[in-house]
Amino acid sequence: MNGNMLPQIPLYLAALSNWTQAPSSCQDLRIPVSVEKTAEGKFGGDVVYNDEVLFALAGRKILVSNTYEMSARFCAPNDEENPHADTLQLLVHGASFNKNMWDSQLHPERYNWVRRMNYEGYPTLAVDLIGSGNSSFPDGLYEVQSQMYVETIHDLIQNLRRGEVDGRAWDKIVLVGFSIGGMMANALAQQYPDDVDALVLHAITWDTSWIYPAFLSGLQVSAAQVDPVKWGHIPLLYQTQSTPEGRRVACFAGAYEEDAVEYDLYKSHERDFDTLGAAITFTYLLVDAPQYTRPVFLGIGEQDSTFCGGRFCREQPWAVYRKFPNVASIDVKVYPETGHLILYHHSGLDLMADSLAFLEAHGF
């Protein structure tokens, strides 16, 4: 169901007026992150797409050494003495989104992750992946691809640990990743198992049989062709959903408000791009992570058409136990009447509450 029904959970109304009023401060940052080439051969420039490019991408290689600027927004409660002040939540958006998805200006009492987490005492750092939002926009095939996401987030985390981002050396970092952000977190946990202290994964499974059909059903084309006035300056290898219907199929199902769809499509600054390079490679992020031992939370909508298909999730979410066989703890939540973009459904408040309960249970 969708349209006019509001969540029928009394707890929703008890604290709604509080966390949007919580005193906190935010600052926008430009953070340099670097990658080093790991593929043999020359890529980029006048080199055309060929089998060497395909093999390098399939091998999860970095094709070009470069330094980029990652746009981020750091928000923290003004009360630095609260018990969660030492835990940074690193927020990573999904494909065709940017950091603004975590900071909704529409009904922030229902959809705003940053304000809720600040209210509960957690500092947040929401980032734009390279090729999204206000970050650098390099080549959309040779550079902006899935392994580059992993390497740039890894570099960012090392900078955070050393105190080179906001002047504080963070001991506790929780990575919260939505969709491709969660997939990236999966690969990060495999390749750099000591990077983060906990994973909060939203809207992913390891069932690849539905991902590409669902991706194609979103009818993605070059963003410059979708809206030449707004996005005409965006390189042609950057793409987004071509129609409102494609966006709705990709993101919404079950119980949600129509104004959330309208906000996502037309009124927010969160609708964004992915690239041809990311589209080719993003399933390579779904891997086994046997060396990762820290706690993992997975939340997914029961009607997530991208990662479950077949109308409803069944056994797919519980593959997390096989993918993370040695973790300290795993918590799985499947939300009924909920599509891919969980945070903008009626279940969004449950997702926030469950994520908070998970973190508190593990001492964060």
pLDDT at 150 over 60: yes
Check if the beta carbon of residue 22 is closer than 8 Å to that of residue 108: no
Q: How far is CA 357 from CA 120, 353, 362, in A?
A: 11, 6, 9
pLDDT at 7 over 60: no
pTM for this entry: 0.93
> CATH class for domain 10-361?
alpha beta
What does the pLDDT read at residue 217? 59
pLDDT tens digits for 174-217?
999 999 999 999 999 999 999 999 999 999 999 988 776 666 65
What tokens appear for 179 in the block? 């969709």
What does the pLDDT read at residue 23? 65
pLDDT at 247 over 80: yes
Q: Which residue has the higher pLDDT, 364 or 5?
A: 364
pLDDT at 3 over 70: no
Q: Which of 34-43, 232-241, 251-260 has the lowest mean pLDDT?
A: 232-241
What tokens appear for 193 in the block? 């198992």
- What residues contact 280, with CB distance under 8 A and at least 6 apart? 54, 57, 141, 145
pLDDT at 14 over 90: no
Q: Parallel, antiparallel, or unpaired for β 87-92 and 220-222? A: unpaired
pLDDT at 302 over 80: yes
Distance CA 315, CA 332 (A): 11
Q: Percentage of residues in the chain with pLDDT exceeding 90?
A: 69
How many alpha carbons lie under 13 Å from residue 273 in its C-beta half-sphere? 32
pLDDT at 18 over 80: no
pLDDT at 273 over 70: yes
Map out the domains of the chain as residue ranges: 10-361
pLDDT at 9 over 80: no
pLDDT tens digits for 45-79?
777 788 899 999 999 999 999 999 999 999 999 87
What does the pLDDT read at residue 341? 96
Check if the beta carbon of residue 201 is closer than 8 Å to that of residue 226: no
Name the nearest CA neighbour of 86 among 172, 164, 22, 160: 172
Distance CA 353, CA 364 (A): 14
Distance CA 192, CA 152 (A): 12
DSSP state of 3: B
What tokens appear for 277 in the block? 């390079």
Residue 166: pLDDT band with limits 50, 70, 90: confident
What does the pLDDT read at residue 6? 44
Q: Which of 31-40, 216-225, 232-241 has the lowest mean pLDDT?
A: 216-225
Nearest 5°: phi and psi at 119?
Answer: -60, -40
Residue 219: pLDDT band with limits 50, 70, 90: low
